[in-house]
Structure formats: structure tokens, C-alpha cells
């Protein structure tokens, strides 16, 4: 039973480019969460989605960041016009109803 799959594991972008991070939840999970971990800091919640709906985006920066979880396919976290401060590890987690969240191994985003 495959766990939460994130790709790519490492992503390098130049300032001003777009970054797309993908997350395939565990089989049977319809809830997806994105978290960000800046260097030497703890994990911070960004957004919670449930199949085609954004449930909670209270941790998402207001500009340049967006997330989706389409009916078919993985969840996508999109960062437009990246800046140096976006360099971080981005973790995705998934869960089913009444079950704990399980995390992927993250995407390390580096901005040149």
C-alpha cells in the first residue's frame, strides 16, 4: 500500500519562475494538506483541500501561491514568480475521514 507520494523530491528554480509541486495521496484518502518548513524552523500549515474544494487556506500566502486537488489526478501546489524566501521543504499529507494524517517525504525547493 503506497504512501503519500510527492514529486519532484528536489526542485530548483530561478527567481521569477513558476514552481509546481505534486502530491498523490494514499489510496482511499480524500483529504490533502500542504505544509511548509523553512530552514531550521518547524512545519507550518498552508492549506487543506478535499476533492475539488479548498476547506482551509488560512496558512497560505495571499499572493503567488495556489493549490488545487482535482477530481482526477494529484494535488498541485503552485508558486508563481518565486523569490528566494520561497526556498523550503514542502510537505503534503493525506487522510481519510476520522484517521490521522500521513505525510510524504516532501519536495525541497531551492531558488537561485
Partner 1 sequence: DAKTTQPPSMDCAEGRAANLPCNHSTISGNEYVYWYRQIHSQGPQYIIHGLKNNETNEMASLIITEDRKSSTLILPHATLRDTAVYYCIVRVSSNTGKLIFGQGTTLQVKP
Within positions 2 to 21, which residues make up the interface with partner 1, using CB under 8 A? 4
97 lines the binding site for partner 1 (CB under 8 A): yes
DSSP-based three-state secondary structure for 3: coil
63, β-bridge pairs: none
100 binds partner 1 (CB under 8 A): yes
Query: Which window, 12-20, 63-71, 74-82, 102-110, contacts partner 1 (CB under 8 A)?
Result: 102-110
Rounded distance, CA 27 to CA 43, Å? 24
Question: What are the phi and psi torsion angles at 97 (to 5°)?
Answer: -60, 135
**DSSP letter assigned to residue 64:** S
- Closer of 18 and 41 to partner 1 (Cβ): 41
Q: Does residue 43 touch partner 1 according to CB under 8 A?
A: yes
Q: CA-CA-CA-CA torsion for 80, 86, 91, 97, nearest 10 degrees?
A: -60
Q: Return residues touching partner 1 (CB under 8 A).
A: 4, 31, 33, 35, 42-45, 48, 50, 55-56, 58-59, 89, 91, 93, 95, 97-106
Amino acid at each position: 500500500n503506497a504512501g503519500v507520494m510527492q514529486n519532484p523530491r528536489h526542485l530548483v528554480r530561478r527567481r521569477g519562475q513558476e514552481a509546481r509541486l505534486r502530491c498523490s495521496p494514499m489510496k482511499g484518502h480524500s483529504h490533502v494538506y500542504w505544509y511548509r518548513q523553512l530552514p531550521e524552523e518547524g512545519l507550518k500549515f498552508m492549506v487543506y483541500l478535499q476533492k475539488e474544494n479548498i476547506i482551509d487556506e488560512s496558512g497560505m500566502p495571499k499572493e503567488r501561491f495556489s493549490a488545487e486537488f482535482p477530481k482526477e489526478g494529484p494535488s498541485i501546489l503552485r508558486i508563481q514568480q518565486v523569490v528566494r524566501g520561497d526556498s523550503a521543504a514542502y510537505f503534503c499529507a493525506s487522510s481519510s475521514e476520522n484517521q490521522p494524517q500521513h505525510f510524504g517525504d516532501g519536495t525541497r525547493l531551492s531558488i537561485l
